[in-house]
Amino acid sequence: MLRDTPTTIYLKDYQPPEYLIDQVELSFELGETETRVRSTLHIRENPASEQASGTLFLHGEQLELVSLLLDGKPLESDEYQLDDEGLTIYKIPAQCLLESEVRILPQNNTALEGLYKSGGMFCTQCEAEGFRKITWFLDRPDVMSRFTTTITADRQRYPVLLSNGNPVNHTELAEGRHQITWQDPFPKPAYLFALVAGDLRSIEDSHTTPSGREVALKIYVEPENIEKCDHAMASLKHAMRWDEQCYGREYDLDIYMIVAVNDFNMGAMENKGLNIFNSKYVLASPETATDRDFQGIESVIAHEYFHNWTGNRITCRDWFQLSLKEGLTVFRDQEFSADMGSRGVKRIEDVRLLRAHQFAEDASPMAHPVRPDSYMEINNFYTVTVYEKGAEVVRMQANLLGRDLYRKATDLYFERFDGQAVTTDDFVQCMADASGRDFSQFKRWYSQAGTPELNISSAYDAGQQTYTLTIEQHCPATPGQADKAPFLIPLAMGLLDSDGHEMPLTLADETDAVAGTRMLEVSERRQPFIFTDIKEQPVPALLRGFSAPVKVHYGYGDEELMFLMANEQDGFCRWDAAQTLAQRILLARVESPEAEVPAGFIAAFENALADTGSDKALLCEVLTLPSEGYLGDQMKEVDVEGIHRSRESLKKRLALALKARFLKVYRENSLEGPYVPDAASISRRSLKNLALSYLMQLEDADVEQLCIDQFNAGDNMTDVLSALSLMADRESSAGEQLLEQFYQQWQNDPLVMDKWFTLQALSKRPDTLDRVKALMRHPAFSIANPNKVRALIGAFCSANATGFHAADGSGYQFLGDRVLELDGLNPQVASRMVRIMARWQRYDSQRQQMMKAQLERILKTEGVSRDVFEIASKSLEQ
């Protein structure tokens, strides 16, 4: 807790560490009231540091000193100094051993950073700066050490004792205690340290790497969840194989362990050899998990596994380089998921997320570059910009190089930097060296914030048979960056003739025509591209595959958009044409609710629904209207009620016009037989449930019965939850009854209870806020559990626009109260919540005043955490 204004840390101030810790021996005595941690640090001067000052500062917070020895001698009180942030030792020798013992209280650790208890189990979370709450250390990623960890605990309560690396020794001790030692041969930064102790069961499997290493795979869970690990294990094996094939990377220890815990701030953590997961991303069975959950598990398991090379073997020099590991690893997990399921649909899902959250962040006071220049609290920079935009930046490099050169570049990266802590510049240099290309302009993607916008115009000259695309780029100002230099933007495009066929393309200075997609490299502020031998006026398909994270403005006519919906081969462009058209209609109806829905739009919907041969997953995306949040982003001032009304009424209009079609699709896509979460079945279920959501717009008793029947018959959570969420929107006793029935059935399953909370938080009923408040007192809710907070409070405030932005300000008051309540327990979770109000300027002046008042109230509260202070103060800066 802070009294002063937190200080800002700058990238430009980076200095290599003066001292290194080559080796560390840790010993934990786990107890019910306190834990003792003894550490021995092997310290030496860093030869790469300019001059060692002779003074050593080690990070450490909330540690109680028991003993401190330098080279075997106790330190006198004038030889060191302790404060809230760490330990300073004066006159440190060039090489020495520092031994310390501290007392910590994991039982009281509600921030869930460092060592804490989750239920009956001890576990850790050290990224980014949690290790300093365990012992004194150089807690920065460029200090890499070999760890040996000994854990001592009660054998009955904690039969399983885990840490990084390989187990080397197990001893039974007196008084029912036991001890195990783990040794990790790979040097790693402290943020990758992990420890777990508990009464856990495991499932086991094995994997043989191409070089013949036999790896034991283990997933540890609490005993009641042992039946729910098979999907996670299968996903891990797929991920290992994929990384061997696509990146030539294999695993390097004898054992790979995953542990599921219920109380966890993030999704999962890639600690070396011992991944710790939010149980949400491990546990699944058909009865309790939805299709989305199954897909989420596959992707998060893969993501953490991929970090073994992109993050662990090669790590970040400092936290400004976070995207070095996260952008690259998200790109890797996106490609893995694309290979496991439908590539086209995966791309659309990624773009939907990026546009909804990252573009919004870019347009807010929290906008920052993929490699930020400064921060107050690094935990606030685990953002969609660093992760998802970072992945887009890697994707662009992969596309500019092409498959073979990109592989050559990543091979070079692994070879050149294995075992080191490096920067995003080092990564890009490998792309440049492998390809011989100059990436200096490209690197602006790392240093300049904001979403670039492309204004594209076209001109067809029938006499010359030329077609000119003129592309202008600009990027809006973001905090601290008023003017930006032009980006290098890869723009994939094609031209369609009147039959919908791809035209062969020749640029003015070329001789051979290239059929299919062209990648234009836009590098100037204004740049014309002239195509020759163009026999007729074409329709351009722009930004195929979403080849760059930009906004494209091109004056398509409605007819052209419908033409692209019917003819374009690229899934993203086809979907985007449908979204653009729907967006136009929806926004027009916000202005004038009676505006006509063009007959062509309804016909296009009908044609799409009738096309039984098409990719059902893609069809689902095309038939999903843009979200309320995304529509709001397209308006000068967000009209919360207007958007909601417009979207609901268009859905109803489509349902009225196409009721028979929707019913037919519903019936044709109902599945018989046991539940399978494969791509084909998932897409059929999505389409069926999408049809049901349109049909439920009609106040039709037969349709409602269909929905209730689906709930009752459902043998899988996807169908049950789809039906239940539609019923939860209604103020009817039938809806209440189903909610109660669902609760009775699943009250003992915390992850299913999260879903139950969320669908009530998202309900369109007018009394939702009161119900959310009442649910906070429900026995299944706990404010100390991040999953519960996100499921109920987070869902209401971030995804129920009409409820949260209620005109009387009750939603804002509620969020302000919750932020302050949470901040005392868990600052990381509190700061995620306060972020929801960062975009207050987007609303009308009354709402602005009310949100501002909450932010000011939070800032004025004494003892507010650095996490929350940073977000609230930056939100108010502009």
Q: Are 633 and 586 in contact (CB under 8 A)?
A: no
Residue closer to Zn ion, measured from CB, 268 or 619: 268
DSSP state of 855: H
Which residues does the annotation mark as catalytic? 304
| Cβ atoms within 10 Å of 105's Cβ, excluding its own | 15
How far, in Å, CA of 103 to CA of 850, rounded?
A: 45
Residue 292's Cβ-count burial label (10 Å; 0-12, 13-18, 19+) is middle
Q: Closest distance between Zn ion and the C-beta of residue 269, in Å? A: 8
743-772 residues near Zn ion, rule: CB under 5 A: none
How far is C-alpha 709 from the geometric centre of its chain's CA atoms? 35
Residue closer to Zn ion, measured from CB, 39 or 828: 828
Residue 91's Cβ-count burial label (10 Å; 0-12, 13-18, 19+) is exposed
Residues 6+ positions from 461 with CB-CB distance below 8 Å = 467, 468
Instruction: Write down the residue that tokens 């199954």 correspond to.
Output: 294
Q: Closest distance between Zn ion and the C-beta of residue 241, in Å? A: 20
146-154 β-sheet, strand order: 73-74, 64-70, 95-104, 35-45, 19-29, 146-154, 177-183, 166-172
Instruction: Report the alpha-carbon angle 785-789-790, nearest 5.
Output: 120
537-556 residues near Zn ion, rule: CB under 5 A: none
Residue type, 496: L
Q: Closest distance between Zn ion and the C-beta of residue 577, in Å? A: 33
Q: Closest distance between Zn ion and the C-beta of residue 116, in Å? A: 20
Give the CA distances from residue 464 to residues 470, 528, 534, 537, 663, in Å, rounded to whole numbers and listed in that order.
17, 16, 9, 12, 52
Q: Are 89 and 98 in contact (CB under 8 A)?
A: yes
Classify the phi-psi angles of 311: left when phi > 0, otherwise alpha if psi is within -120 to 50, otherwise beta.
left
Q: Are 837 and 852 in contact (CB under 8 A)?
A: no
Q: Closest distance between Zn ion and the C-beta of residue 303, in Å? A: 6
761-773: burial string, b at 16+ Cβ within 10 Å, e else: bbbebeebbebbe
Give the CA distances from residue 176 to residues 66, 154, 156, 172, in Å, rounded to whole numbers and listed in that order.
25, 6, 7, 8
Residue closer to Zn ion, measured from CB, 326 or 719: 326
Q: Closest distance between Zn ion and the C-beta of residue 654, in Å? A: 39
Residue closer to Zn ion, measured from CB, 277 or 711: 277
| Alpha helices for 658-785 (secondary structure H) | 659-668, 679-695, 701-713, 717-728, 733-746, 750-761, 768-775
Q: Closest distance between Zn ion and the C-beta of residue 434, in Å? A: 24
Element (H, E) at 404: helix 403-417
Residue closer to Zn ion, measured from CB, 298 or 326: 326
Q: Closest distance between Zn ion and the C-beta of residue 585, in Å? A: 39
Element counts in the chain: helices (H) and strands (E): 30, 32
Residue closer to Zn ion, measured from CB, 311 or 642: 311
298-357 residues near Zn ion, rule: CB under 5 A: 326
Residue closer to Zn ion, measured from CB, 422 or 793: 422
Residues 6+ positions from 576 with CB-CB distance below 8 Å = 543
The residues facing 705 across adjacent strands are none
Residue type, 243: D
Instruction: Write down the residue that tokens 């016009």 correspond to.
Output: 657
How far, in Å, CA of 603 to CA of 606, rounded?
A: 5
Residue closer to Zn ion, measured from CB, 247 or 814: 247
| Cβ atoms within 10 Å of 148's Cβ, excluding its own | 21
Q: Closest distance between Zn ion and the C-beta of residue 278, in Å? A: 13
DSSP state of 120: T
Residue closer to Zn ion, measured from CB, 389 or 755: 389
3-state SS, residue 231 = helix
Please state the φ and ψ torsions of residue 303, each to the nearest 5 degrees: -55, -50
Residue closer to Zn ion, measured from CB, 326 or 870: 326
In 720-866, DSSP assigns E strands to none
Write down how long the chain is: 878
Q: Closest distance between Zn ion and the C-beta of residue 388, in Å? A: 12
Q: Closest distance between Zn ion and the C-beta of residue 697, in Å? A: 39
**What end-to-end distance do the CA atoms of the chain give, in Å?**
26
Size of the site for Zn ion (CB under 5 A): 1
Element (H, E) at 467: strand 466-474
How far, in Å, CA of 577 to CA of 598, rounded?
A: 15
Residue closer to Zn ion, measured from CB, 326 or 749: 326
Instruction: Tell how strand 80-83 and strand 86-89 pair up.
Output: antiparallel
Q: Closest distance between Zn ion and the C-beta of residue 307, in Å? A: 6
DSSP state of 186: S
Q: Are 185 and 22 in contact (CB under 8 A)?
A: no
Signed CA dihedral, 779, 123, 27, 80: sign only? negative
Residue closer to Zn ion, measured from CB, 148 or 299: 299
Residue closer to Zn ion, measured from CB, 326 or 754: 326
Q: Closest distance between Zn ion and the C-beta of residue 326, in Å? A: 5
Peptide bond into 660 cis (omega under 30): no
Note the residues at the interface with Zn ion (CB under 5 A). Answer: 326
